[in-house]
């Protein structure tokens, strides 16, 4: 990444208030590997996705590294909203060793996983009240049908939710996407060396 590219991201980050974060660790060693930051722009512009590979960072004394630190300071400012599937601080904690940023973060942190779990529980409660024989259109109701095409892969939404609640398991993003959009997000390619 060049200094000019980072400077361009400075300008975009200063105008952006919502960022989506995801991190990945090495599958075999569990060492922190990637930080992915999606800039959610308020306009119809193309939103950038910044991917930082921890093992390919420039030298700490370089201008580029210093610019990356400045970029993180802009992103982590006090009027930013940061979204993550899970606890962002837990995700970022293992990346502190790379000195790109420090904690605590003054930004507003949003755990989308918790929001999904609450929403899904409420949806299940509401769906049990909906009478299937009703022909009336109810525009304020979202009806979700779990995939039925492969019973070996998918349980009913009620059953999978019961299992997760009983075992106190959090909804993974793969399960959530599978049940809501009938799409499975394979990690096959990210697990290859």
Q: Which of 126, 125, 128 is nearest to 140 (CA)?
A: 126
* C-alpha–C-alpha distance, residues 100 and 93, integer Å: 11
Give 56-100 pLDDT, tens digit per residue: 999 999 999 999 999 999 999 999 999 998 889 999 999 999 999
Give 11-52 pLDDT, tens digit per residue: 999 999 999 999 999 888 989 999 999 999 877 788 999 999
Listing DSSP states for 86-139 in one string gives: S-HHHHHHTTGGGTS--SS--SEEEEHHHHHHHHHHHHHHHHHHS-TT--S--T
- Taken as a whole, the chain contains a residue count of 193
Q: Are 16 and 41 in contact (CB under 8 A)?
A: yes
Task: Record the pTM.
Answer: 0.73
Residue 65 is predicted with a pLDDT of 96
Strand, helix or coil for residue 29: coil
Is residue 157 pLDDT above 70, yes or no? no
């Amino acid at each position: 990444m060049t200094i000019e590219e980072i400077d361009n991201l400075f300008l975009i980050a200063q105008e952006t208030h919502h960022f989506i974060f995801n991190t990945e660790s090495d599958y075999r060693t569990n060492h922190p590997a990637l930080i992915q930051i999606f800039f959610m722009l308020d306009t119809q512009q193309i939103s950038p996705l910044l991917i930082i590979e921890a093992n390919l960072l420039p030298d700490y004394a370089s201008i580029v590294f210093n610019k990356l630190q400045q970029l993180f300071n802009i992103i982590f400012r006090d009027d930013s909203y940061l979204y993550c599937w899970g606890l962002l601080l837990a995700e970022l904690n293992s990346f502190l060793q790379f000195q790109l940023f420090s904690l605590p973060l003054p930004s507003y942190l949003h755990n989308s996983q918790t929001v999904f779990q609450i929403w899904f529980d409420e949806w299940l409660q509401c769906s049990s009240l909906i009478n299937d024989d009703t022909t009336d259109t109810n525009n304020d109701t979202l009806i979700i049908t779990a995939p039925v095409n492969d019973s070996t892969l998918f349980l009913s939404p009620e059953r999978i939710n019961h299992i997760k609640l009983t075992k106190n398991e959090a909804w993974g993003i793969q399960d959530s996407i599978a049940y809501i959009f009938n799409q499975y997000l394979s990690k096959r390619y990210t697990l290859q060396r």
